[in-house]
Amino acid sequence: MNIGTLLTTSAASRPENSAIVCGPRRVNYEQFNARVNCLSNALRRLGARPHDNIAILMVNFPQMLEVMFAAFKAGCGAVPINWRLHPSEFAYIIDNAEATILFTTAEFDEQVSQIRRDLPRLRHIITTGLATGDLQDYEAVLAAESEHFADIDVAPDDVAWLFYTSGTTGVPKGAMLTHRNLLGMTKRFYSDICPDFGDDEVVLHAAPLSHGSGLYALPNIGRAATHVFLELTSFDPDSVLETIQSQRVTNLFAAPAMIKRLVDCPAIDHTDVSSLKAFVWGGAPMMVEDLQQAITKFPNMVQIYGLGETPMTITYLPRRDHVLGGSDAQTKRLASAGIRRTDVDVAIVDGNDCFLAVGEMGEIVTRSDVMTKGYWRDPEATTETLRRGWLHTGDLGYFDEDGYLFLMDRSKDMIISGGENIYPREIEEVLAQHPAVCEVAVIGVPDKQWGEAIKAVVSLVPGQDVTEEALIAFCKSRIASYKKPKSVDFVAELPKNNYGKIVKRDLREPYWRGHQRSI
């Protein structure tokens, strides 16, 4: 089934249900589906054929959901781009996806004009902002089309969503998520995450639509739920809390750093959050103490562990396990990533891909129909990741006797700051370009607000000098702002092993003493 048909079916069965709430604007399912159909027709008119990829560089506005579903219905791959990336990364993704059509919101019109010359393939840019130059007006494009569209018949393994991950070498890779994958994710949302999900649900899109919130839009559309948008470009805890109460929100997805801000927000103590049926969190670990505090404030929390390559679906810590004052075993489980999802195989392997026993730590591998079929135009990375039919997560962990998975570390030294994955190598490459820098290693250090903060440890070229501020500014001008180091420490020499390689474990150790990270 075409995953876009979730919308077609909901519009047919519950046309009057509110689909979109954004400020004063309300759109029902019949109207929402009609707008999406217009866009699917527009895609066709603009030359998009099934299997083509449509780039989407938009902030969390309802139009982003419209474009995603228009692409699905037209049999195209939707390519939602993380808008916090650097313009050079936007360009890389748009070009790599071979997109000829790009949808943007006003925030990016200027940046898009700047990168335009690096994108010779791009034929149409449609903006919700000001249609100047060769930018086309979103509403005008939509208005020119028919409201009727027959969803394209797709094969289950056709690409529906090209999900760009940060990539271990700094170059983003497009995980191909198929219609089968997204349907599998949707079904498992109903079975595992919120078994009592009904016909009058309300989802709040507080997290980016290019990631978790966009993925969980699908099960919500499948049940004709109301999608609430905040019209904000940054996370504002007061607005989120106020909206949960006023719109009687029943489900949302948030990263641990967002939850911490909600818990710390004074308004939490006089906000009614009892409407929440599934407060889904994941994307990064949460300290047990923080989770316990969150449980005192929010009902029905559910943790999910997954990757872009296995959208939202490897293991989960169900609502019933989010308890306070339980037995020792129950308290211990709060530090876990939960149990495997319905019909999802999860195993632990050693460096030779041999299965390990309960309690033994190794790489987490998974196998299910909610697993990418590979990386777009990258057969090498595909073969490497999908060895022997199992998807290799790059995460280290172990299972306990009761089947709970404990994530211990991320191989490849990935840093997760505020729910964003950051690969140190990318920042190290930038800093190494500075004339005063001799050697550099970038690590994550504990941070109360963001989970981890980026620290660069640098040794200088003899006779050269540079300040911490200058190095941070150097990074800021070259990579996305959230990837710049928060601090820089200067050392005479970086710790190395016998092979002359920098030992990050040793480097991290003093910063993590007394904290929970397994270094």
| Cβ proximity to ligand AMP, 237 vs 308, nearer residue | 308
| Cβ proximity to ligand AMP, 39 vs 334, nearer residue | 334
Residue 191 has, within 13 A of its CA and on its CB side, a CA count of: 13
Which of residues 219, 285, 362, 485 is near ligand AMP by CB under 6 A?
A: 285
Establish if 410 lies at the interface with ligand AMP (CB under 6 A): yes
Residue 94: how many CB atoms within 10 A of its CB? Answer: 25
What length is written for the chain? 519
Residue 145 has, within 13 A of its CA and on its CB side, a CA count of: 22
Shortest separation between residue 224's beta carbon and ligand AMP, angstroms: 27
| Cβ proximity to ligand AMP, 44 vs 508, nearer residue | 508
Find the largest Cα–Cα distance for the chain.
73
By CB under 6 A, the count of residues binding ligand AMP is: 16
Shortest separation between residue 211's beta carbon and ligand AMP, angstroms: 7
| Cβ proximity to ligand AMP, 287 vs 431, nearer residue | 287
Which of residues 10, 40, 303, 385 is near ligand AMP by CB under 6 A?
A: 303
| Cβ proximity to ligand AMP, 53 vs 82, nearer residue | 82
Describe the crossing of helices 212-222 and 179-188 by its angle, rounded to 10 degrees: 70
Q: Where are the alpha helices (DSSP H) in 22-173?
A: 29-45, 62-73, 87-96, 109-115, 138-143
Which of residues 308, 362, 444, 451 is near ligand AMP by CB under 6 A?
A: 308
| Cβ proximity to ligand AMP, 104 vs 385, nearer residue | 385
Question: DSSP label at 77?
Answer: E
Shortest separation between residue 182's beta carbon and ligand AMP, angstroms: 15
Residues 412-471 within binding reach of ligand AMP (CB under 6 A): 421
For every residue of 483-505, DSSP letters joined together read GS-SEEEE-SS--B-TTS-B-HH
Residue 496: how many CB atoms within 10 A of its CB? Answer: 12
Shortest separation between residue 414's beta carbon and ligand AMP, angstroms: 6
| Cβ proximity to ligand AMP, 96 vs 165, nearer residue | 165
Shortest separation between residue 91's beta carbon and ligand AMP, angstroms: 21
- Tell me if 509 sits within 8 A of 503, measured CB to CB: no
Q: Are strands 159-165 and 173-178 parallel, antiparallel or unpaired?
A: antiparallel
Shortest separation between residue 316's beta carbon and ligand AMP, angstroms: 9
Q: Which helix (H) or strand (E) holds 427?
A: helix 424-432
- Tell me if 389 sits within 8 A of 371, measured CB to CB: no
Which of residues 395, 426, 428, 452 is near ligand AMP by CB under 6 A?
A: 395
Residues 111-150, one symbol each (x = binds ligand AMP by CB under 6 A, - = not), give ----------------------------------------
Establish if 57 lies at the interface with ligand AMP (CB under 6 A): no
Which of residues 29, 61, 305, 404 is near ligand AMP by CB under 6 A?
A: 305
- Tell me if 201 sits within 8 A of 223, measured CB to CB: yes
377-399 residues labelled b (16+ CB within 10 A) or e (exposed): ebeebbeebbeeebbbbbbbbbb
Single out the segment in contact with ligand AMP by CB under 6 A; choices: 12-20, 26-34, 183-191, 390-398.
Answer: 390-398
CA-angle at 433, arms to 431 and 434, nearest 5°: 75
Question: DSSP label at 482?
Answer: G
Tokens of 327: 């037995």
Q: Coil, strand or helix: which one is 435?
A: coil
Nearest position to ligand AMP, beta carbon: 308
| Cβ proximity to ligand AMP, 105 vs 421, nearer residue | 421
Establish if 336 lies at the interface with ligand AMP (CB under 6 A): no
Q: What residue ranges bind ligand AMP (CB under 6 A)?
A: 165, 282-285, 303, 305, 307-308, 337, 393-395, 407, 410, 421
